[in-house]
């Protein structure tokens, strides 16, 4: 670039990250020449909204594609060329080779700065029959339009969804809303693979509550089709040693087993690929190749808690990283500060949210952790409050909050955002109690579930009120350890369900009957949700019982943990 020549920016990809990079670059400079190449015909669309178009909650696909090339040209003076695929990159010469798909014409363009916003590709497993009519992935507006058209033109009434992650569950909800009978097949033993099994068990139950045939620890081994399209799917249990299969009749298949970063151009350019399989970048989104940037789902990020490389494809991250790159290449100061993978999905009547490390991830990262299950109403029950389940994970050594998961009919979004903010700024769990959160009985309880989470975790870490999870209790008992479990609930509550092999001593009788227990044995108290169990725990500790833990989340959490997975 000569001193008098304008900066020439080429962006490959025009969804969230690419358009964010172009827009931010233009905001920083009026002189740059900015061109965006997009192989598809839709740009800057809401990929997360696609299932809701299929279900009819979004009436018109144009509501998800509100901006076109003409809008970008008028607003930002950015040239967006749809139907143009970049097929080669030559970083030495700073050129890209572009194919115009409508004419098959190819041409070469030059750049000073190249932004790779190539996104992801849907994973399509090598299943026999995967190419049959009526089998779809869900990634673009064209995909969503094709699925809705298939349902309306064929009258499809039975669908099989492969994969119980975010898109799979959103599609399931929306298909049920259309009156379609849905079977969900998931290779793991629980839905929501990014959540801990003891929390996702509630998602499993919610799916079944709404008539979904959920097949866990199951894989698809074949898809059958006739002249009208897909007719059935052969499934097999992943633990089935006999190799036997079962046929599930269906006339629509949604494949949502995940996505992979589309790194082909980055590899061709010589950019380093990170340990996650996405393009390695620095905090300004620069790749290892000079003047080549990577943003959005194709780029690797790093975790706020661990500092380690991580890849979590989310629209929020895509917008953020695109803006950072657009700023950095035009002289701005922005740098990426990492992600927590914060996310939320609606599954019928539940909001399902998470942030930071799960229990499994925290253990794998080497943390000595404290785990809390906190079941509280999202607001007072006299104003319609419903249970909100919060699971939080903290580092015993530092007291730092590491991660949280929340599931409830309402309020999960608010609490997970508060906790994500706390984790981002390195909060100790004790800090949560001191947060000055908004209170009104129409929105929250006086002591918010976030406050309770901080209180209980602080007490557990300092061993003034230790906790034990259902999983740990079951494991220790299975290993032969003698643990006396004390149910401090009323007889009426106990009649509904119990933790096996537990002694029933209601809290009001515990002081008088404590002599029936062995103070030398490890003891676990429990109630319905945890509060009365904690009161019983305090009574026994004050009476000289040295090792007393409260069952995290009480009997409700235990029953959810013990619920059959299939």
Instruction: Give exposure, 435-446, as e/b (b: 16+ Cβ within 10 Å).
Output: eebeeeeebbbe
Q: In 187-228, which residue ranges form alpha helices assigned H by DSSP?
A: 197-209
Question: Which residues, at least 6 apart from 296, have a Cβ–Cβ distance to it below 8 Å?
Answer: 13, 15, 16, 17, 18, 117, 119, 313, 317, 318, 321, 322
What local confidence, expressed as pLDDT, does residue 552 receive? 96
- Enumerate the β-bridge partners of residue 390: 374, 406
Contact 513, 335 (CB under 8 A): no
What local confidence, expressed as pLDDT, does residue 566 receive? 43
Which is it for strands 113-116 and 8-12: parallel, antiparallel or unpaired?
parallel
By CB atoms closer than 10 A (0-12, 13-18, 19+), residue 15 is buried
What local confidence, expressed as pLDDT, does residue 42 receive? 86
Residue 48: active-site member:
yes
- Catalytic-role residue among 7, 48, 334, 409: 48
- CA dist 251 and 155 (Å) reads 9
Question: Which residues, at least 6 apart from 127, have a Cβ–Cβ distance to it below 8 Å?
Answer: 220, 221, 222, 223
Token pair recorded at residue 99: 């194919």
What totals of helices (H) and strands (E) does the chain contain, helices first? 17, 30
Distance of CA 468 to the CA centre of its chain: 26
CA dihedral for 469, 472, 477, 482, sign (positive or negative): negative
- CA dist 468 and 459 (Å) reads 13
Contact 15, 47 (CB under 8 A): yes
Element (H, E) at 27: helix 16-28
- CA dist 264 and 402 (Å) reads 35
pLDDT at 563 over 80: no
What local confidence, expressed as pLDDT, does residue 3 receive? 54
Report all structural domains of the chain as residue ranges with CATH numbers, in order of start: 8-44+58-119+260-328 (3.50.50.60), 135-257 (3.50.50.60), 349-461 (3.50.50.60), 467-562 (3.40.250.10)
**pLDDT digits over 304-336, tens only?**
999 999 999 999 999 999 999 999 999 999 999
pLDDT at 268 over 80: yes
Contact 505, 516 (CB under 8 A): yes
Per-residue pLDDT, averaged over 347-372, amounts to 97
Q: Residues 300, 255, 14, CA angle at the centre, nearest 5°?
A: 45
pLDDT at 339 over 90: yes
Q: Which long-range contacts (CB under 8 A, 24 or more apart) does 512-516 make?
A: 514/539, 514/540, 514/543, 514/545
pLDDT at 2 over 80: no
Where do we find the tokens 């040239």?
Answer: 79
Nearest residue to 356 (alpha-carbon basis) of 421, 433, 296, 453: 421
**In which band, very low, low, confident or very high, does the pLDDT at 537 lie, cut at 50, 70 and 90?**
very high
**In which band, very low, low, confident or very high, does the pLDDT at 210 lie, cut at 50, 70 and 90?**
very high
pLDDT at 43 over 90: no
CA dihedral for 139, 140, 143, 148, sign (positive or negative): positive
Contact 324, 285 (CB under 8 A): yes
**pLDDT digits over 15-32, tens only?**
999 999 999 999 999 999
Q: Residues 518, 519, 522, CA angle at the centre, nearest 5°?
A: 90
- CA dist 395 and 357 (Å) reads 11
What local confidence, expressed as pLDDT, does residue 46 receive? 84
| C-beta neighbour count of 499 within 10 angstroms | 20
Question: Which residues, at least 6 apart from 240, have a Cβ–Cβ distance to it below 8 Å?
Answer: none
Give me the half-sphere count of Cα atoms (radius 13 Å) on the Cβ side of residue 374: 27
By CB atoms closer than 10 A (0-12, 13-18, 19+), residue 241 is exposed
**In which band, very low, low, confident or very high, does the pLDDT at 238 lie, cut at 50, 70 and 90?**
confident
Contact 166, 345 (CB under 8 A): yes
**In which band, very low, low, confident or very high, does the pLDDT at 47 lie, cut at 50, 70 and 90?**
confident
Per-residue pLDDT, averaged over 336-346, amounts to 97
CA distances from 241 to 162, 238, 245, 308 (A): 21, 8, 11, 38
Per-residue pLDDT, averaged over 185-202, amounts to 93
- CA dist 161 and 175 (Å) reads 10
pLDDT at 263 over 50: yes
Where do we find the tokens 């007393």?
Answer: 548
Please give the mean pLDDT across all residues of the chain: 95
Contact 165, 195 (CB under 8 A): no
- Secondary structure of 416-432 as H, E, C letters: HHHHHHHHHCCCEHHHH
The string of DSSP letters for 342-360 reads -EEEEETTEEEEEEE--HH
The string of DSSP letters for 108-129 reads EEE-SEEEE---EEE-----TT
Give me the half-sphere count of Cα atoms (radius 13 Å) on the Cβ side of residue 166: 21
């Amino acid at each position: 670039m000569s001193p008098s020549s304008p900066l020439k920016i080429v962006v490959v990809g025009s969804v969230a990250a690419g358009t964010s990079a172009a827009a931010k670059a233009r905001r920083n400079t009026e002189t740059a020449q900015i061109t965006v190449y997009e192989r598809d015909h839709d740009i800057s669309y809401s990929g997360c909204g696609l299932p809701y178009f299929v279900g009819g909650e979004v009436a018109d696909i144009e509501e998800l594609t509100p901006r076109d090339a003409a809008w970008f040209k008028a607003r930002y003076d950015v040239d967006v060329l749809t139907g143009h695929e970049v097929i080669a990159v030559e970083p030495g010469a700073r050129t890209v080779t572009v194919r115009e798909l409508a004419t098959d014409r190819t041409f070469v363009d030059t750049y000073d700065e190249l932004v790779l916003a190539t996104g992801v590709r849907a994973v399509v497993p090598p299943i026999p029959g995967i190419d049959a009519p009526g089998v779809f992935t869900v990634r673009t507006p064209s995909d969503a339009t094709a699925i809705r058209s298939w349902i309306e033109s064929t009258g499809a009434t039975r669908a099989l969804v492969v994969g119980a992650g975010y898109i799979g569950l959103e599609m399931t909800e929306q298909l049920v809303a259309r009156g379609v009978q849905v079977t969900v097949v998931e290779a793991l033993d629980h839905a929501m693979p990014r959540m801990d099994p003891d929390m996702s068990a509630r998602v499993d139950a919610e799916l079944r509550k709404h008539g979904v045939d959920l097949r866990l620890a199951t894989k698809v081994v074949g898809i059958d089709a006739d002249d009208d399209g897909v007719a059935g799917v052969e499934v097999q249990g992943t633990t089935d040693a006999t190799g036997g299969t079962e046929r599930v009749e269906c006339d629509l298949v949604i494949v949502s087993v995940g996505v992979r970063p589309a790194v082909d151009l980055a590899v061709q350019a010589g950019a380093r690929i990170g340990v996650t399989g996405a393009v390695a970048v620095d905090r300004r989104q620069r790749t290892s190749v000079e003047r080549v940037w990577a943003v959005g789902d194709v780029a690797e990020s790093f975790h706020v808690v661990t500092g380690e490389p991580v890849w979590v494809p989310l629209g929020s991250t895509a917008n953020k990283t695109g803006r950072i790159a657009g700023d950095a290449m035009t002289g701005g100061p922005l740098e990426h500060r990492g992600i927590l993978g914060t996310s939320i999905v609606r599954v019928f009547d539940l909001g399902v949210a998470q942030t930071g490390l799960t229990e499994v991830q925290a253990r794998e990262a080497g943390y000595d952790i404290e785990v809390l299950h906190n079941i509280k109403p999202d607001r007072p029950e006299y104003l319609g409050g419903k249970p909100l389940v919060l699971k939080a994970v903290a580092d015993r050594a530092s007291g730092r909050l590491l991660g949280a998961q929340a599931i409830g009919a309402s309020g999960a979004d608010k609490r997970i955002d508060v906790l994500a903010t706390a984790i981002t700024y390195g909060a100790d769990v004790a800090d949560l109690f001191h947060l000055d959160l908004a209170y009104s009985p129409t929105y929250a309880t006086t002591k918010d579930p976030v406050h309770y989470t901080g209180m209980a975790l602080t007490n557990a870490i300092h061993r003034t009120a230790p906790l034990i999870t259902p999983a740990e209790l079951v494991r220790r008992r299975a290993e032969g350890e003698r643990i006396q479990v004390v149910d401090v609930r009323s007889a009426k509550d106990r009649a509904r369900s119990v933790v096996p092999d537990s002694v029933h001593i209601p809290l009001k009788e515990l002081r008088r009957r404590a002599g029936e227990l062995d103070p030398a044995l490890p003891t676990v108290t429990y109630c319905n949700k945890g509060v009365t169990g904690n009161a019983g725990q305090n009574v026994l500790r004050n009476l000289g019982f040295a090792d007393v833990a409260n069952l995290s989340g009480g009997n409700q959490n235990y029953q959810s943990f013990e619920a059959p997975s299939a």
